[in-house]
Chain A
């Protein structure tokens, strides 16, 4: 009956008969699908394989430029001279937005943008669209708080110099955007590699299963300078008032520690504010203390003297007869006042700054080979290798050069016919101040790399003269200050060694009349110098001679520095030595 034997209606019979047809159809389709899958694994055409790989690369990684925070520049006391101001560039991957209404509302509010525009961007479905540049960190925090995968924020580095124009020429500046973002000139330029850290243009995996590779962009290294912000400020204000009072068009002051070659301050007029770079005037961007060259003038006599003494060509009791005119290589050499000084000794050559005496020492006693080899040993004609970008090497013709002539020897002896940078000059004088060692000048004394602090030791280049000769020349320089300058460079309580230089300014058609470059180079205390100072004023109007312009600036600066650096007076030191105190500070 129906219940037991499943009564098959006609329709049911048809269904049973026809089902196999349907099953056959389904089997054919399934086999086709599986075959297609299998065929997908068949060896692929190389072009297809390459295309496949390109699609994979695009899917699983994205090329990102990961900029690292630039290193911070500190002065020697830890004051920040250059820092990073954070800014962000905010974009959106519209294809990843899950809640467009919310996103439009939030973004337009936070970024203060037109909601209609934001709406258009958010609903465009494009993989990337820029929303705003120069977004400050506070605003960025709000954006980041939305915590959406769709938002793409890119840090844009901006450099900020909190001290303004202070030490602007030493620091240099940073310019450019993206790939061209880098430091130029000064420390920013010289230490670009260290400061920039490692900015990567990298394939970043966007697969959440894979950890991003650990070579994340490395933060730039921080630099601690030998520059002292307070001394720098003192130097800059001193220079500014000196420029004003002397009517000079420009000038430089460098303060160094002659023992180590540390530059404590280095200022040039006109100043440069790295926050507002005058990119249209390349000349203003340079640091004149290392990049402008000038004829050093009489300061060179000290070098000539040191060379002759070291070579044994003369002794401190050497004398000569000054006749007022001296012929070298067909060129007449006269003293600064045109006078004949008669029989004078070596010290008087320095004290009275006698051109003829310097020439005679170089030409007759020393000879050209020895003279130029000493000049070279003092660092003239080559860069000091200070760690600042933009240094010039000066100009020194030596025998063997086509343009060199015998008369060059005669005038080079008192600093004419050659050109030096202010730093070169001071560094050479430092070799006399510190007992004969040529140091490599430097502005960076520490590199901070994460937790690791690397101290940079002073670099000793070579011994140029003996301590004995250094002491002899120093005493001549002390005499020059004490006897030759009427106290215009003296500092009460301290023995000061120094030398003026009044150089004429060469032009293609001879020297410019009435215009000079006045320099004073000195150090103190003379027997154990702690600071050496170079003051250089270009074309001062109030007086021609350096003794009247540059020397008083040195004096004013030195008086402040001994206080600031707490340099004990000579008397105090003798007292301390007598008490068995700091013996080493006084040379026997």
Chain B
């Protein structure tokens, strides 16, 4: 058996790691763990799998479409501001293109690096994130009464913390396997870890990021096999804690926001200024919108942050409810694909990672949209793929890179299995003993 032949590739969960990550994408497909074909063998084979073929096309297509909509909307919302401030209407959209470029490089690096290696780095990543979160509390820049960024606003560890937490959660949860159910191995360490990270984030204060971290981690915990009773208890405690933090924790700004929010669900005129302006945008847009570029709310700061947090309202204004619903549909397709990949992944780490990242992106999207629709108290959350932003764009694309990396491993494995099946018959006719030997050895 493979496990016995190559014990060095077997990790503690009992699933396989690859012998080597893909270094040269143009070379033939690397052998999956259980196969461990010699490289020379692969090169000789006439049927190979290119790097691009190993990537998941539906996921790339939907992400690309969202990115394109994002660039279009960023231009639509910033051309006037860019022109009056920098004399170039494309100033901001070019910055955004640069952000996308950096994000795509990150995405490519993650794919090439392979997610299974990242798993080994997950502890380092988490510790680094904790350090960055502490650093931001100590030396961060104050913007709008909050410390969220380092180095002049260019680095926001909050965004990083979300992704780091998901990676670590996937690694940790998969390593626990069925012990996740246990109180001492599962719930208590989970709660402690989550408490530390989200606590640091809340101190900034950045409640929306904390909510994302707690929510996504909680659902990952659930997916990894957490005990349902424990989940119920922890959800209850988290709910109470959340209410305490919001209403009793001395965070006046959050309390105010929540207060106006509760009134505004039924009476939109009592909503927060920004939220009401978003409502005006949707009202202007109607069903089909005023047309690309023709939004009025985006000008002169009528709707604050039209290119970042409020961009969904501008989509609603320019393309109407139908256009906005189409964007929601694209996110739904993204989620469907992300979860499909998670289901197809035999490796629990990969599955949890793909599910976690998908969940993370959709949570951000839904939270952003819910704020714009006055269903959730105002928070500063960017719309993934679409909002203008550096950290947000790069982390989201790195996240997509992780999902692609997971699916790439699946594709490579399936391709290898398929090829092996074909070759088994072909080789027999050709009498390629080595292949057969290896093949049988693999079985």
Contacts and interface: CB of A to CB of B under 8 A. Distances in A.
Given A11-B225, A12-B347, 11 more contacts: A1-B442, A11-B224, A15-B355, A21-B222, A33-B328, A40-B282, A56-B284, A59-B297, A95-B301, A149-B85, A209-B294
A460 interface: no
Contacts of B300: 59, 96, 206
A2 B17 CA distance: 12
Nearest to B320: A41
8 contacts: A1-B2, A8-B346, A9-B15, A10-B178, A11-B177, A19-B342, A26-B366, A30-B328
B351 A41 contact: no
A41 B321 contact: yes
Contacts of A18: 222-223, 225
Interface string B432-443: 000000000011
A7 B15 contact: yes
B85 to A, nearest CB: 6
A279 interface: no
B373 A33 contact: yes
A34 B325 contact: yes
Interface of A: 1-4, 6-12, 14-16, 18-19, 21-23, 26, 29-30, 32-34, 36-38, 40-41, 44, 48, 51-52, 55-56, 59-60, 95-96, 98, 149, 206-209
Nearest to B1: A1
A44 B283 CA distance: 10
B85 A98 contact: yes
Given A2-B346, A6-B344, A15-B348, A149 B84 contact: yes
Contacts of A14: 223-225
A8 B297 CA distance: 52
Contacts of B442: 1, 3
Contacts of A23: 335, 339
Nearest to A19: B339
B110 interface: no
Contacts, number: 161
A56 to B, nearest CB: 6
B400 interface: no
B357 interface: no
Interface residues of B, number: 76
Interface stretch (B129-137, B187-195, B272-280): B272-280
B296 interface: yes
Given A59-B280, A60-B302, A40 B359 contact: no
Contact of B348 (A12, A26, A34, A60): A12
Contacts of A51: 269
A1 B276 CA distance: 59
A529 B355 CA distance: 107
Interface string B312-327: 0000100001001100
B61 interface: no
Nearest to A32: B375
A442 to B, nearest CB: 50
B369 interface: yes
Contacts of A207: 296, 299
A52 B277 CA distance: 9
Contact of B321 (A6, A12, A37, A98): A37
Contacts of A1: 1-2, 34, 442-443
Contact of A11 (B180, B276, B301, B443): B180
Nearest to A18: B223
Interface of B: 1-2, 13-16, 32-35, 80, 84-85, 173-174, 177-178, 180, 219, 222-225, 268-269, 276-277, 279-280, 282-284, 286-287, 293-294, 296-297, 299-302, 316, 321, 324-325, 328, 331-332, 335, 339, 342-348, 351-352, 355, 359, 362, 366, 369-370, 373-375, 413, 416-417, 420-421, 442-443
Contacts of A48: 268-269
A284 to B, nearest CB: 49
A280 B335 CA distance: 81
Contact of A15 (B34, B80, B224, B443): B224
Contact of B351 (A12, A21, A40): A12
A48 B282 CA distance: 14
Contacts of A41: 282-283, 286-287, 321
A52 B346 contact: no
Contacts of A10: 177-178, 225
Q: Which of A21, A29, A32 has the most CB of B within 10 A?
A: A29
Contacts of B84: 149
Given A1-B443, A33-B375, A206-B299, A11 B366 contact: no
Contacts of A8: 346
A29 B345 CA distance: 26
A26 B369 CA distance: 13
A149 B86 CA distance: 11
Given A6-B346, A34-B328, A40-B373, A29 B277 contact: no
Contacts of B225: 10-11, 14-15, 18
A575 B1 CA distance: 142
B112 to A, nearest CB: 22
A60 B296 CA distance: 7
A127 to B, nearest CB: 9
A38 B373 CA distance: 10
B38 to A, nearest CB: 16
Contacts of A38: 321
Contact of B369 (A33, A44, A98): A33
A8 B14 CA distance: 11
A17 to B, nearest CB: 9
Contacts of A15: 223-225, 342-343, 348, 351-352, 355
B280 A52 contact: yes
Contact of A37 (B222, B282, B297): B282
Contacts of A98: 85
A62 to B, nearest CB: 9
Contacts of B343: 15-16, 19
Given A19-B355, A48-B269, A60-B302, A11 B339 contact: no
